[in-house]
Amino acid sequence: MKKKVNIALSLFVLCIGCFSLAAESPVILSFRQCYQLALSRSEVLADQQEQVVQAEEQYKQAVGALLPSITGLASYTLQPNSSDQLLIKANATYPLFRGFRMVGAIKEYEQLLSAKKEARQWAALQLYSDIAQSVYLYAYLQQDIQLLLEQQSLLNKRINELQDRVNIGRSRPTEVYSLQVSLFQLQTQLVTARSQLDTAEGLLQFLTGQDIAVQVEPTNNFTLLPLSSYQTRIQQRPDIKASIARIESTKLLEQITKEGESTPLIDLNGNLYLNRPAPNQSMPWDAQIQLTLPNFLVDVAASKTRESASVRKQAELGLSLLRRQLVNDLTTIYANLIAEKQQLQLFEKAQHVSEKNVDTVVKDYRLGLSNNLDVLQALNAHIDIKRSFNKMRFAYLTDQARLASMTADLGAISK
């Protein structure tokens, strides 16, 4: 009976332990899932969305300025030595003529709204680049640690084999010591890599808002389109579209300022009186047309027009600079991808050769044709090549994501 109780207790403790580990272990997500989490978590995107909302409301307000406005007024006046007066009326105002300024203002807010939407889309593309850099760094460090552990296992195996040879007098103790020194150096690299992995994991948690682990399937498919095809996509970037929309907005503002300062305003006003004091109590309504002449201080009007023209010119210069920077950045990152692709192909070939070299050197060592230093160098070279290939592969994937973000390749981003 006691034995059964102990077994049941052990199973209970084991279940509790497994449940705790499951509860504490991070959720394993793909790159796409990490990006979706980052989109929902980003304060920058949320801020951009609020700016879109504000621009939409400003557009509605501009449209509302073209519509009649109806207001109500009620007042009660106390007068000494006279009867009190009660006034209740409804007032309606309709803008008959405002020149170009009202329609232009609506178009201006349309362009501003378009610019805000494009700016939000560009922020999402930048976030894609940031999350790609973080995810691929995390995945690279995971793979690098696995390779270091593989190298550690090989060194331990070699140390055990050499120790057996030392025991039978076929090898010298210094050979074991040299391998042990290499093992200690390797362990320091492991400590550094694990520290970097913790930092990368913290960055992922910051971007996604969750404690997660990333699972990325490395790919050996490194394809690139011609540079010209990427250059044509630059014009579709949201920040380019936003800059163009801002320029159109400044053009409208310039036209509104120029015409608004020189055209009169005509408004139709009407009042309906529900209660009107004497002596006009017999007139239940009145109407008037109001003409407002423009400001005759011509110098002020011209100054405002020149200021609007300067704002437009400034926006055009900003777009020109942005386009030149994009061309330069695109050329640089494309050249990096070409070089990385060539290095990956060479590293892939080097891996096969280094693996054959290790097998050959180990066989020669057993036959007495090579020494322990040759074996150690061959092993280290093989792992170094694998680590370099791993590093270059994730560097290529990171730059590929940057290229997709830079060229607003929504097809690649949505995969």
The answer to the question of residue 377 being in a domain is: yes
Query: How many structural domains are present in the chain?
Result: 1
Give me the pLDDT at residue 17, please: 46
Mean pLDDT score of the chain, rounded to an integer?
Answer: 79
- Structure pTM? 0.69
The domain of 205 spans 26-68+100-263+310-413
pLDDT for 75: 86
Does any domain span residue 57?
A: yes
CATH of the domain at 132: 1.20.1600.10
- Cβ count near 364 (within 10 Å): 15
Each residue of 362-407: pLDDT tens digit?
888 778 788 777 888 888 888 889 999 999 988 998 898 888 888 8
Residue 9 lies in a domain: no
Phi first, then psi: what are they for 95, rounded to 5°?
Answer: -75, 110
Predicted confidence (pLDDT) per residue in 67-112, tens digit = 778 888 888 878 776 777 888 888 888 777 666 666 666 777 777 7
Please report whether residue 293 resides in a domain: no
Q: Is residue 44 part of a domain?
A: yes
Long-range CB contacts (within 8 A, 24+) of 374-382: 375/158, 376/158, 376/178, 376/179, 376/182, 378/354, 379/151, 379/154, 379/155, 379/158, 380/151, 380/182, 381/354, 381/357, 382/351, 382/354, 382/355, 382/357, 382/358
Angstrom distance (rounded) from CA 243 to CA 262: 29
What six digits make up the tokens of 295?
A: 């400001």
Rounded mean pLDDT, 165-191: 83
Q: Which SS3 state, helix, strand or coil, does residue 279 take?
A: coil
